[in-house]
Every structure is written in structure tokens, then in C-alpha cells.
Structure 1
Amino acid sequence: MKKLINTLSLIFFAGVMAVSAQCCNGATANDNSTGTKATACCANNQTSSEVKAYYFHTTRRCATCQAVEKVSKEAIKEYYGDKVIFQSINSDEDKNNELVSKYKISGTALLIVNGDKTVNLTNDAFLNARNNPDKLKSKLKSTIDSMM
């Protein structure tokens, strides 16, 4: 019975990821799920030593997209109050073109930025926001702590 539940969970997860990828245009922003990588444009335009969290999304969002925003925003507020800026950015809106271009966003992405250092947490966010939000919160905290 446990094997059946695990198998069904795996199938469900695969389906959710496929829907998420379709809903979110299969978006990635410098798929750097393993840690840190500064993009050249980030180094040129980011001068503050303030940690910022950017959640890029499109107008049409799935439940996982919404959960990523909700969990990330809650965690950052809980752990850091106003010390870390969380900004939700609709990449479909023209007013956000500069940031979308700066970070080379092509859909949905969760980025933690400090100066010229950018950490992409998109994969962790989409894997955990709905079914294991505490894991996402923990990942956000450890990433932000390491950047402060």
C-alpha cells in the first residue's frame, strides 16, 4: 500500500510540474539551482548591499506560482521584517521590462540578490512551495543569511 501511495504521489508531482512549466512558460532565469552566479548585467546595475528577493511571474498563474509568492513573502517577512525587500514583479507589464531584461527572465523566477551576487531559487521554490513550504522557508533563510 505504501508503494502505491508513493507511486501515485510521484505521478501527481510529475503532473504538477508539467502544468507548472506550461503555466509559467517553462521559465527560467539563468537556471542556477545549485547556488550563486552573478550575471554581468547584475554587477553593472546593482550597487546596494541590501538583500532583495524578486519573484517574477506572468499575469496568468497556476496554484504553484501563487504558492511560491505567498510562502516566500511570508518567510521573508517572518525572518527579516523590513530588512529584506520582497518584490513581486509581473513580467507581462511593460513597466517591469527593465528588471525583466536585467535578470534575463523569460517567465517565472525567484531570485535573491545582493550587489553583484544572484541566487536563483526557482527550482527549490516550485518543488516545495505547495507540499513542503517549511523546506522552502528554510532554503530562503539559509540563502539570505549567507548573503547578509
Structure 2
Amino acid sequence: MKKLTLILIIALWAGVLSASAQCCDSKVAELTSTEVTLAEQATGAGVKAYYFHATRRCVTCQAVEKVTKEALKEHYGDQVAFLSIDREEDSENPLLEKYKVNGQTLLIVSGDKVKNLTNDAFLNARTNPDKFKAKLKSTIDSMK
């Protein structure tokens, strides 16, 4: 009986984790692989922010994109390129393989340097956006 209870608890826990990893509705800007390649070429060797997401996104996923865009605009104007990439709609995007992306991911890239800010973004974009903006700024400043 204890084993059955433990198995049910584990199954329930796995279900909750799986459901929380899925994201909800949103309207998404669509970018093709060609548009991403052109954007990469246009920005040259400068710092870039890539936000990879699913087609359906929850409010936290949307907040990560919104707060990242706000912070980049506030601190850098148009000096830091931002690309939001729907990895389901644009599954052939070469950046997915290049950066080994398979889930919601926020990367700051400058040349060969890559910083993954996904955890900071998802922990703070909704609840403490100023903290996340400060982390984003310090990361980009350290990569220039």
C-alpha cells in the first residue's frame, strides 16, 4: 500500500511539473530563419539578446519578453539587438541548434560569449522586474 501511495504521489508531482512547464495563450511575433539571419548580420559583432519561447506562453513568459525589451530600450536604445524566436513556429532556425535551445531560454550573446539569463528572467520578470533589469544590464555591460 505504501508503494502504491508513493507511486501515485510521484505521478501527481510529475504531472504538476509537466503542466507548469507548459505555457498559456499569447500572440507572438513570427520570425523566419531568413529574418533572424538578416538580423544577425545587420547587428554585426555587437551584443544581442535572444529570447526563445513556445507558441503558447504564460504571463511569466510574456513578462520575460516585455521586461527584457523595456530594459534594453531604457539602457541601450537600439545598440543591443533583441530577437524573440518562436522555437515551435521556426523549428528550423539555425540559432536553436547553435545554442542548443530546447525550451524557453533568454541568452545574451556577444561574439563567442554567451550568458544564459533564463533563471534570473523567470524568477524576477513578474515579481521583481527592477532586479531582473539590473542583472540584465550588469551582464551586458560585462560583455561589451
> What TM-score does the superposition give when structure 1 sets the normalisation length?
0.69
CA spacing shift, 1:63–1:126, aligned 2, 3 Å: same
CA distance in 1, matches of 2:18, 2:138: 29
Deviation per CA, 1:35-70: give whole Å up to 9, x if none.
Answer: xxxxxxxxxxx9x43100000001010110000000
The match for 1:76 is 72
Shift of 1:23: 1.5
1:55-66 mapped onto 2 (5 Å cutoff): 55-66=51-62
AA in 2 matched with 1:108: Q
Structure (1 or 2) with the larger CA radius of gyration = 2
CA contact under 8 A between 1:53 and 1:113: conserved in structure 2?
Answer: yes
Q: 5+ residue gaps in structure 2?
A: 1-16, 24-40
Q: How many residue pairs align between the two structures?
A: 111
RMSD over aligned CA atoms reads 2.3
Identity of aligned residues (%): 67
Note if 1:127 corresponds to 2:123.
yes
The match for 2:21 is 22
CA distance in 2, matches of 1:76, 1:93: 25
CA spacing shift, 1:123–1:144, aligned 2, 3 Å: same
CA contact under 8 A between 1:89 and 1:96: conserved in structure 2?
Answer: no
CA distance in 2, matches of 1:137, 1:120: 14
Larger RCO of the pair (alpha carbons < 8 Å, separation 6+)? 1
